[in-house]
Amino acid sequence: MAKATVAIVGRPNVGKSTIFNRIVGERISIVEDSPGVTRDRIYGTGDWLTHEFHLIDTGGIDMGDAPFLVEIREQAELAIEEADVIIFIVSAREGVTSTDEEVGKILFRSKKPVVLAVNKVDNPEMKADVFEFYSLGFGEPFPISGSHGLGLGDMLDEVVRHFPSDLEESEDEDIIKFSLIGRPNVGKSSIVNALLGEDRVIVSDIAGTTRDATDSAYEFEGQKYTIIDTAGMRKKGKVYEKTEKYSVLRALKAIDRSDIVLVVLNGEEGILEQDKKIAGYAHEAGRGIIIVVNKWDVVEKDDKTMKNFEEQIRAHFQFLDYAPIVFVSAKTKKRLITLPPVIKMASENHSLRVQSSVLNEIIMDAIARNPAPTDKGRRLKILYATQVGVKPPTFVVFVNDPELMHFSYERFLENRIREAFGFEGTPIKMIARART
């Protein structure tokens, strides 16, 4: 199920980030807690009633040294391009300003649903102040107070009322959905074009891809794939499309819709910090991951070059030790054809179920060889384990006390499970649960 995207728009200081934080609350941690992953508070997950949605604070996406009005306009354009529903925030303290009117005009032309929220209505007496905002032309303004948490429920009721009804992704289990992420210019679109060759199909008419019309259909040796679009494959030109935070945003959305993520590196340039950020999110999101080193044609090589590069990758991406590494060239097409089978293998492992009896044998054997260490005189006891889910494979381990399950021991068990069953190309999740 794809999530709807909601964007917050408005001039500086109206309270956008205050409201963003209110709605997202602690759930931003999926991005924030993972080491090296983006800490920008611009992209989070909110939920209201039964709906989970992406939330973007467009105010957090700064456009470099673009003039103020250009920046505001670009933020509105970005919201229009990315969002299903826009929350347009104004402030009761200042009343309608010319910048509000400017933003309003852009949003009005877009025909996207806009919910107008008048912030800083901190007490009921101020509610009369919202009437002047009718002049912006977005119907009834919702009085809210970000800092006091007032009125947000009514506003969110209105927001979810506008969610599109076609959010259901095509749940065709036979089609593997993958995306390519990575910094600009690493060669993502070149790889896609080389894979698709002359038969490039734009699948705007395929069910479930209506919202992102630039997904591509691809077939190799009888296996069907959908290549999920990311920023690098879009028309370019807008100011915001050049900003790093925008490319991160597009990547995060693509990751959400993918089964498998290809983290593309530039063999010529090596590994940069930004590569790690996005890969970290794909890992956290539980997607299958393959590391693709592109532009291998321009690298001067001897018989150790590949091995050295592999070692560098392993050192930088320790949390991705399960990800296969493939060296390719989109330009010469060398080894490109090895990619689809690796994607298929990762996808199979991503949805692999193992037998409970075999799983427990492996775990009991691991414990016998390497008993859990004691913690303040108490020892972790593992009673049994069971696989509770796939995509990614998820295991619940029943123990005497989950507090005693330390990261290093969990890691040890994970490694034993990997040795026994493979699971190459997919993260696996372990959850320790108490059973007495």
- The answer to whether 231 is annotated as binding is yes
- Which residues are CB-contacts of 55 (< 8 A; sequence separation ≥ 6)? 5, 6, 7, 8, 20, 23, 24, 43, 44, 45, 46
Q: How far is the CB of 377 from ligand GDP (least distance, A)?
A: 49
Question: What is the residue-wise DSSP string for 67-125?
Answer: -HHHHHHHHHHHHHHH-SEEEEEEETTT-S-HHHHHHHHHHHHH---EEEEEE---SGG
Six-digit token pair at 80?
């229009």
297 binds ligand GDP (CB under 6 A): yes
SS3 content of the chain, % helix, strand, coil (to 5): 40, 20, 35
> Pick from 237, 232, 259: which is nearest to 173 by CA?
259
Q: How far is the CB of 182 from ligand GDP (least distance, A)?
A: 6
Q: How far is the CB of 392 from ligand GDP (least distance, A)?
A: 26
- The answer to whether 57 is annotated as binding is yes
288 binds ligand GDP (CB under 6 A): no
Of 37-45, 117-125, 129-137, 205-213: span binding ligand GDP (CB under 6 A): 117-125
Of 42-50, 234-242, 314-322, 328-336: span binding ligand GDP (CB under 6 A): 328-336
14 binds ligand GDP (CB under 6 A): yes
Torsion, CA 348, CA 352, CA 358, CA 364, rounded to 10: 110
97 binds ligand GDP (CB under 6 A): no
- The answer to whether 14 is annotated as binding is yes
Q: How far is the CB of 98 from ligand GDP (least distance, A)?
A: 17
249 binds ligand GDP (CB under 6 A): no
- Which residues are CB-contacts of 264 (< 8 A; sequence separation ≥ 6)? 180, 181, 182, 186, 187, 188, 191, 292, 294
**Could you say which of 44, 143, 232, 280 contacts ligand GDP (CB under 6 A)?**
232
Q: How far is the CB of 411 from ligand GDP (least distance, A)?
A: 33
Torsion, CA 62, CA 63, CA 64, CA 66, rounded to 10: -130
Six-digit token pair at 60?
């957090």
- What binding mask, one character per residue, do residues 334-373 give for ligand GDP by CB under 6 A, x or -? ----------------------------------------
**Could you say which of 95, 164, 184, 373 contacts ligand GDP (CB under 6 A)?**
184
Contacts to ligand GDP by CB under 6 A:
10, 12-18, 59, 119-120, 122, 145-148, 182, 184-190, 232, 294-295, 297-298, 329-331
